[in-house]
Structure 1
């Protein structure tokens, strides 16, 4: 087996954030230097602008009510590096305008209130709520509603109140806080916890959105199915809880009297008038021609979902997002093999079939699954591939494989096995 480093490469222009402004979606890139802010015009389905940003990536985009400015929050990489800037959309190709530097803050959530004020939060010691005033060009620090949290993960604002969602990464550990929702009075700075008790077991608040006269609250990372909640903006004690079968709920959007949201395994639809929740997911194999589901199987041993699927002969190979391998007999629909390969597949992975074998790639390893014993053999280790979405693997017409090592594209020639 031989490997060849082909140099810097990107297999996917990953987009960690996006926002619709008028008829154009603006998106920020990830792990591309320098970062790009791309405008995609929906009516013409064309990229209409590309601006060079600052920083490695951005999960935090927000537009002012007039659609004039796009605000961007990024990590604070070094002294002198601004982690809040904006792009004038009258010329969306740039340049960007630096606005503020908050030392030690990695901005991961940003919103613009109806009166044009910018609020943001993120990861730092004792995460705080910040406001940027475009008129005075000053930053106000509202302090930390929950000093024991490891991150401020969600934020949304009205003309009078900032709603802030916090929690802890990987459940925090030790004394770290879990999911909390706070209301911050913009005039006085007074802080009040309005956390619905039904969501308090989750590690972190994942999303906050104002829908009509209610605040939609979604969480992520709960070990059990997590509900989301609607909090009445006029009476925080008035809460409507919506049960789901998933462990996360985010990206709430209202359309035709229904609320759509994204869960761990697909898209959910909630009808407030009836309380019904429909989850659009198909964890089985289906008939795409007839558009019908043939069967489904829930291997309940995995709570983290699946990223890798491959079919070889009568077997369906499913790689869980934490290294759990399941092999399913498609004829009997029985699980015929399970194994834990977290040392090789620490999180996400993809699979493909080539010349009668199943191959896979994680962010650390290129591997092969034996079609008889289902054992895994590590072929190339130490990849440490950068995050461009789910780890990728492909093979060309000559049988050479391609994966990422750091940011470089690696070509791997594997001797054919019968």
Structure 2
């Protein structure tokens, strides 16, 4: 999601720091946690099950000398660690004072100064660019400046030491190119070269030029600009779009790397990459494969195209895969001696490009400092509660208080347990995954989604047809898709844009073999919140209703003949009578939510969770009442709530997994 559920800087303020020692002890598979603490004063009964997901997760890496510096993801505080290749250990660490993840790292030409740029929730007056003096690694990194954009996605340091910054963050504001001058400590905008862009993901610098890659994502489409590559003259600060016509239909320039006389250019969309002559931008070579993070060793240009690392020989024009194992997402690529070096979500990986072999160095075993992580999806059943993290799924076995970690590429954005088997909607472009604890096999893909439908948003189970139902979003083109997977036959059914070309399928629910799809339109025009009744077997629409909400649908649930819908941005509750196909109730939710949320039926009542509150909806009057105030869950992809077979509810309070038994309230509300 482009807007997250909570201010991530509040994560450990809600209890994570005090529980950090316990959390770290749970990092290895099968480690027992302390006995859960219970809140017993009054109803409901709340049981604290400990940190939901604990690990060191990462989003960037850069080789400087013999050390790989790695930027963290969704941890508080955000941190950079140094992995020393000769000793295989973590030898340094610095924490930054703002942000929730580090996507951008760059070093100056001397190798003394490492710059880090952070992603953050908003423009808050704090630095988002930091500098770490690697000659004195015990001294913390210092904030040196704040750009006028929310996020920093890429950094480059010119030979004279000036730093160039790309980012963006708000789809309503086109990104600027920023320059930080360490001599004067000044942060200067070079302007917005493309007012139609929604993000800048790449930047590179030479003595004469700065290269700035723009495009659209997460709020793109619907008339936003395609990918463009601007070459800025560093003397005049004027720019020219130099992206070749062969890749001009791409949605975003995603990577820029200065090589030996050439600029490696990654572009999302056209299935091609480019090497542009730095001395003459009109001269270029097309590589017939998408790639990012280009590095050169002799005549070979290495690049990442998941699930592998590839080599393009500039003489023979041959493309060879040098890392064939699917190691998941990769967050950096460098050349180390005669080898290629990459960092996955779990390992530092040395690749021999000739032998096509790889040696992996486990970051956890090396001492990477983990902590409670912001969480993704949530599901409960068969005695387990599963919580999605980045590159992992935490399995909480309730009977033994054991927590184990299942490596799963990407992020489990939502999930459901059916017959003891976990099914997840797996971002990025990983479709539907399955995990059966009876087999011990790690989670694996059972269903792919159509091209571009990269972000699953909601998952539910259709018991009548035996289908896992999922709704998804196309981050770059707009719209979304419906998907259904039948475990008994492995059949996959999909439909792109079942609502319309703008509305993603934000929410899914099912009743009597009919799937209900809830739309969310993040653009300025068009329907906001359409509900579509969908035949998942025939794969066709049955009917639709626009409840007339001013914002998109955040969540849906069905109980009896009523479909309950929760609108985004506190735009309210609506209830549809599925027999009459009429909206029978609208209510205010502004007292219990601000934006994203989730709904769950348990013991005959519809429960909801927002970024702040767990609440219930009376099944007769539809009145809303608070179950747990100030829940303040540590969510990354919006709040979730689920229930097990006994009707016990599970969600997060701060970074911790909690179980809620609302039995007393249930007894008083039943009619």
TM-score (norm 1): 0.71
Contact 1:5 1:408 (8 Å CA) reproduced: no
- 1:261 paired with 2:344, answer no
Distance, in Å, in 2 between the alignment partners of 1:273 and 1:140 is: 41
For residues 407 and 272 of structure 1, do their structure 2 counterparts lie closer, same or farther at Cα, with a shift above 3 Å needed?
farther
Give the deviation of 1:259 after TM superposition. Answer: 0.8
**Where does residue 398 of structure 1 map in the other structure?**
none
Distance, in Å, in 1 between the alignment partners of 2:653 and 2:227 is: 33
Give the deviation of 1:56 after TM superposition. Answer: 0.8
- 1:68 paired with 2:112, answer yes
For residues 404 and 198 of structure 1, do their structure 2 counterparts lie closer, same or farther at Cα, with a shift above 3 Å needed?
farther
**Where does residue 235 of structure 1 map in the other structure?**
280
- 1:82 paired with 2:127, answer yes
**Where does residue 137 of structure 1 map in the other structure?**
185
1:131-172 superposed Cα distances (whole Å, 9 cap, x missing partner): 111111112211111111011110000011101111000582
For residues 36 and 276 of structure 1, do their structure 2 counterparts lie closer, same or farther at Cα, with a shift above 3 Å needed?
same
Larger Rg: 2
Task: Give the alignment's Cα RMSD to 1 decimal.
Answer: 4.0
Matches within 5 A, 1:218-233: 218-220=266-268, 222=269, 226-233=271-278
Give the deviation of 1:218 after TM superposition. Answer: 0.9
Matches within 5 A, 1:114-129: 114-124=159-169, 125-129=173-177
- 1:24 paired with 2:107, answer no
Matches within 5 A, 1:264-303: 264-279=306-321, 281=324
**Where does residue 521 of structure 2 map in the other structure?**
none
Greater CA deviation, 70-79 or 38-47?
A: 70-79
- 1:354 paired with 2:437, answer yes
- 1:56 paired with 2:100, answer yes
**Where does residue 175 of structure 1 map in the other structure?**
223
Contact 1:9 1:407 (8 Å CA) reproduced: no
Give the deviation of 1:281 after TM superposition. Answer: 4.0
1:98-129 superposed Cα distances (whole Å, 9 cap, x missing partner): 21122443111111111211000101512111
Distance, in Å, in 2 between the alignment partners of 1:196 and 1:365 is: 40
Give the deviation of 1:407 after TM superposition. Answer: 6.8
1:293-346 superposed Cα distances (whole Å, 9 cap, x missing partner): xxxxxxxxxxxxxx99xxxxxxxxx999999xxxxxxxxxxxxxxxxx99x567
* 1:110 aligned to which of 130, 133, 155: 155
Contact 2:215 2:252 (8 Å CA) reproduced: yes
Distance, in Å, in 2 between the alignment partners of 1:181 and 1:157 is: 13
**Where does residue 41 of structure 1 map in the other structure?**
84
TM-score (norm 2): 0.45
Contact 1:386 1:406 (8 Å CA) reproduced: no
**Where does residue 150 of structure 1 map in the other structure?**
198
The 3-state SS of whatever aligns with 2:246 is: helix
Give the deviation of 1:65 after TM superposition. Answer: 1.2
The 3-state SS of whatever aligns with 1:198 is: helix
Contact 1:16 1:58 (8 Å CA) reproduced: yes
**Where does residue 402 of structure 2 map in the other structure?**
none
Distance, in Å, in 1 between the alignment partners of 2:62 and 2:91 is: 15
Distance, in Å, in 1 between the alignment partners of 2:125 and 2:102 is: 18
**Where does residue 211 of structure 2 map in the other structure?**
163
**Where does residue 294 of structure 2 map in the other structure?**
252
For residues 257 and 371 of structure 1, do their structure 2 counterparts lie closer, same or farther at Cα, with a shift above 3 Å needed?
same
Matches within 5 A, 1:4-19: 5-19=48-62
* Consecutive unaligned residues in structure 1, runs of 5 or more: 284-290, 292-306, 309-317, 324-340, 389-402, 413-418
Contact 2:103 2:119 (8 Å CA) reproduced: no
Distance, in Å, in 2 between the alignment partners of 1:158 and 1:319 is: 35
Contact 2:198 2:219 (8 Å CA) reproduced: no
Give the deviation of 1:277 after TM superposition. Answer: 1.1
For residues 226 and 166 of structure 1, do their structure 2 counterparts lie closer, same or farther at Cα, with a shift above 3 Å needed?
same
Give the deviation of 1:405 after TM superposition. Answer: 5.3
Distance, in Å, in 2 between the alignment partners of 1:178 and 1:112 is: 26
The 3-state SS of whatever aligns with 1:145 is: coil
1:4-46 superposed Cα distances (whole Å, 9 cap, x missing partner): 6523343431110111111111111111111111111111111
* Consecutive unaligned residues in structure 2, runs of 5 or more: 1-45, 327-355, 357-390, 393-407, 414-422, 445-455, 462-466, 469-485, 493-508, 511-598, 601-607, 610-632, 638-649, 660-671
